[in-house]
Amino acid sequence: MINIRPISDLRNKFSEIEETVVNSNAPVFLTKNGYGTMVIMSVEQYSALTDGIEHKLDEADEVAKKSDVRYSASKVFGKVRSRINEHEKV
Q: pLDDT (tens digit, 9 = 90+) per residue, 67-85?
A: 998 999 999 999 999 999 9
Alpha helices, DSSP H, located in 1-90: 8-12, 14-24, 43-65, 73-89
- Dihedral through CA 31, CA 7, CA 47, CA 55, nearest 10? 60
Q: pLDDT (tens digit, 9 = 90+) per residue, 32-42?
A: 999 999 999 99
**pTM for the predicted model, two decimal places:** 0.64
Average pLDDT of the residues in 5-27 = 94
The CATH fold of domain 3-41: YefM-like fold (3.40.1620)
CATH 3.40.1620.10 residue ranges for the chain: 3-41
